[in-house]
Amino acid sequence: MRADLKVIEPWISTNTQVLDLGCGDGTLLAYLKEKKHVQGYGLEIDADQITHCIEKGVNVIEHDLDEKGLSRFADHQFDTVIMTQALQAVRRPDEMVDEMLRLGRQGIVTFPNFGYWRCRYYLLWKGKMPMSKTLPHTWYNTPNIHLCTFKDFEALCQQKGIKILDRLVVDADFEQSGFSKMWPNLFAEFAVYRIAR
């Protein structure tokens, strides 16, 4: 299982309802179903990933979050709504966070930190949009349309009255270091947040 998925797994309770937005190949939902008896649904746009979900026995719906939104789901239908490494790829991340917390009692989001020192270095010294292991695309073909920093996300949460229940700031391997704990916006590559109203 991907390192970021291992990090968020403890935040999901046994025998709960989970919605995974941009669920990829369904690895997280398959794991949660087997180990925690979670009833889950995944939303995914990529046909190949949907095929992998079906092979794993994951309930998946072909769904474009930007085109269709989440209005088909009822308020408080889920215990947890998850969005891993996709928040920065939707047109309106602010509205997506609202929708996540309309549908679920808690939301879990992960995203790359654009304030990471390597990104800053790239912009400062090369004068070009950064490319790295965590941001592997060029500026013209990247799916990431709303890059942000931890401070940006936390300011959005404060503005919307969203509580940050947990926060992990980690490197590319989703491990914490002393530097990332002391100066997260500068030395951590990824954010992992658990949020609620």
Domains of the chain: total: 1
* Residue 74 in domain: yes
* Cβ-contact 159, 178 below 8 angstroms: no
What residues does 166 pair with on adjacent strands?
194
Tell me, letter by letter, the H, E, C secondary structure of 72-110. Answer: CCCCCCEEEEEEECCHHHCCCHHHHHHHHHHHEEEEEEE
Give pLDDT tens digits for 67-94: 888 988 999 999 999 998 888 888 899 9
pLDDT at 180 over 90: no
For residue 121, being part of any structural domain is answered with: no
Q: Which domain does 151 fall in, by range?
A: 3-113+145-196
- Stated as kind and residue range, the H or E segment containing 138 is none
Full-model pTM: 0.85
Residue 159 in domain: yes
* 93-122: b (≥16 Cβ within 10 Å) or e: beebbbbbbbbbebbbbbbbbbbbebbeeb
45: CATH: 3.40.50.150
At residue 122 the predicted structure's pLDDT band, cuts being 50, 70 and 90, is: low
pLDDT digits (tens, 9 = 90+) for 39-71: 999 999 999 999 999 999 999 999 888 888 898
